Structure 1
Amino acid sequence: MRQLTRRPSQRRGNKAEHSSRDRWLITYADLITLLLIFFVMMYAMSTLDKNKYDDVTESLQLTFKSGNSILEEGSGITGTADKYTHKNPDTTTTLPEKELAPDTQVQTQEPQALTERELAFRQQEQELQGLMSVISKYVSDNQLDDQIFVADKPQGISITLSDQFVFDAGRADLKSASGPVLAKLASLFKNLGTTVSIEGHTDNVPITNSSKYQDNWELSGARALSILRFFLEKENLNPDGFQYAGYADTRPAGDNSTALGRQSNRRVQIIVLRQLQE
């Protein structure tokens, strides 16, 4: 009797243990089923029936183009008729344009005529561009590109003369070779309605004891004055159209620590200013 009662309990224990080991298969099967359903749905959503799509699109277009609202005179949730009736606007008719009052009408603004001063500035700008073109051609034709530099700057047309071309070292007397160039410039300055500024510049090397000038301020001013006197005394230009100044080494164009920089700083600038004479 004891052996008979033990055998069934042992079978039940083995059967329960076997069922607990296979229980993961249920979860795995559920997961595989869900994945299958997911991919079926994705495939169904990615497939587009063109005929059905065209039918739905046409139906929506007809609905929105219709003249009346589908909710017009509806009974509502409470079962009572709407108090107000309404119609959608007719899209086939055009609204009349609103007439503006006489004082609110848009007027086309005609371009205002230029003033005399504005016309004078335009004329002067044309003259300056013509002047720059003539001087640049003269410099190129006479192969003076390494001694004379022409540039269009905000303040005016700048003509830079190297000191080696115009003066000897430490002196302010004009070289004879610079005469034809200055005479050419003077011929172009005669009919200008603007001011010509002559500015002398030096490097930062102090004046030697052998020079008759006390410092670079005197030297730069004397060089600018020499060119001015050439224009006034030899070319008989009007002194009202000129001004001159000496800046010594305060406005360097190059690096004073190098020989090439100091050479570029020793110069005279003739600037035809962009301004009208009063």
Structure 2
Amino acid sequence: MRRRSRKKPAAPESHERWLITYADLITLLMIFFVILYAMSRIDTQKYEVLAQSLQLEFRKSDTVIEMGSGVTGSLDRAQQPKPAETSEKVDKPDKEKLQEEAKRQMEQNLQDLLKVIQSYIKQNHLENKIFVADTSEGIAIRLSDQFLFDLGKANLKDNALPVLGKLASLFSTLHNTISIEGHTDNLAIQPGGVFQDNWELSAGRSLSVLRYFVDKAKIDPKKFKIAGYGDTRPVVPNTTNANRQKNRRVEITVLRSLDFK
């Protein structure tokens, strides 16, 4: 007879498997807290460097907030960049400032011109032939026809050239407009002459002075304007020969004006 083998009794079921899961959980928690601890540690030296760098950047004067006082609010406003202005706001004050400066310089030049001409007249004893004055229009220089022209003619005399040469040397440095006006007395022009009347004579005389400045002295013709007024603008009544002599003249005026463009 065969003997039946006995079955070995099954091993009792373990009730401590939860310890494995618990141990894994504890391990993970420990790792997690180690990481947190490591992240929470501060390198003081690196922190100070970072803090100073950020503070410097926030306090820089070239902050993107124009006219601001920096991100920290403690930046000196004197160091702030000025806000960008439109061209109109910039150009208008600048243009006005330039105009004012040009006017001051022009006035100074006119006063210097007046003094130089007065000194020239005195040194050359030309008080009876040249008169200069500061008028509302500008510096007016009145030249008698006695040394400029012969009676009834418009050709410049030789002794007038030094005076015109002196004036030309002064005019060449100015930027003002220069007016040249011819004037006569009220006596009628003798028939058979070059000019038909005092209008033509006064215009011809102013033109002769202009041609000297432009052709001889080589001054820019754009600086000048000329006119002939005949006997319509006397300085004194044409009642005597002396008065008529005063009315026969060429007036050169350096105008008190500048072209602003």
- TM-score of the superposed pair, with normalisation by structure 1: 0.59
Equivalent of 2:98 in 109, 113, 116: 116
Equivalent position of 2:197 in the other structure: 215
Question: Structure 1: which amino acid aligns with 2:215?
Answer: E
Q: For 1:30-88, what per-residue CA distance to the aligned partner results, in whole angstroms no more than 9, with x for missing partners?
A: xxxxxxxxxxxxxxxxxxxxxxxxxxxxxxxxxxxxxxxxxxxxxxxxxxxxxxxxxxx
- Cα distance in 1 between the residues matched to 2:138 and 2:219: 20
Secondary structure of 1:218's match?
helix
Equivalent position of 2:109 in the other structure: 127
Equivalent of 1:201 in 183, 197, 204: 183
- Tell me the CA shift for residue 255 of structure 1: 1.2
Equivalent position of 2:250 in the other structure: 268
- Tell me the CA shift for residue 258 of structure 1: 1.3
Question: Structure 2: which amino acid aligns with 1:174?
Answer: L
Equivalent position of 2:213 in the other structure: 231
Q: Can you give the 5+ residue segments of structure 1 that lack an aligned partner in the other structure?
A: 1-111
Equivalent position of 1:167 in the other structure: 149
Question: Structure 2: which amino acid aligns with 1:192?
Answer: L
Secondary structure of 1:115's match?
helix
Secondary structure of 1:264's match?
helix
Question: Structure 2: which amino acid aligns with 1:240?
Answer: K
- Cα distance in 1 between the residues matched to 2:112 and 2:172: 14
Equivalent position of 1:38 in the other structure: none
Equivalent position of 1:79 in the other structure: none
- Cα distance in 2 between the residues matched to 1:129 and 1:117: 18
Equivalent position of 1:243 in the other structure: 225
1:178 and 2:160 are equivalent in the alignment: yes
- Cα distance in 2 between the residues matched to 1:182 and 1:253: 22
- Tell me the CA shift for residue 210 of structure 1: 3.3
Q: Which 10-residue stretch deviates more, 204-213 or 176-185?
A: 204-213
- Tell me the CA shift for residue 156 of structure 1: 0.3
Percent of aligned positions with the same letter in both sequences?
53
Equivalent of 2:240 in 233, 258, 261: 258
Equivalent position of 2:135 in the other structure: 153
Aligned residues: 167
- Tell me the CA shift for residue 277 of structure 1: 2.6
- Cα distance in 1 between the residues matched to 2:230 and 2:133: 21
- TM-score of the superposed pair, with normalisation by structure 2: 0.62
Report the RMSD for the aligned CA atoms in angstroms. Answer: 1.3
Within 5 Å, give how 1:56-67 maps onto structure 2. none
- Tell me the CA shift for residue 257 of structure 1: 1.4
Task: Name segments (4+ residues, structure 1) moved above 6 Å.
Answer: none
Q: Can you give the 5+ residue segments of structure 2 that lack an aligned partner in the other structure?
A: 1-92
Question: Structure 2: which amino acid aligns with 1:266?
Answer: R
Equivalent of 2:119 in 97, 120, 137: 137
- Tell me the CA shift for residue 119 of structure 1: 1.2
- Cα distance in 1 between the residues matched to 2:232 and 2:119: 31
Secondary structure of 2:253's match?
strand
- Cα distance in 2 between the residues matched to 1:197 and 1:212: 25
- Cα distance in 2 between the residues matched to 1:193 and 1:176: 28
Equivalent position of 2:87 in the other structure: none
- Tell me the CA shift for residue 158 of structure 1: 0.5
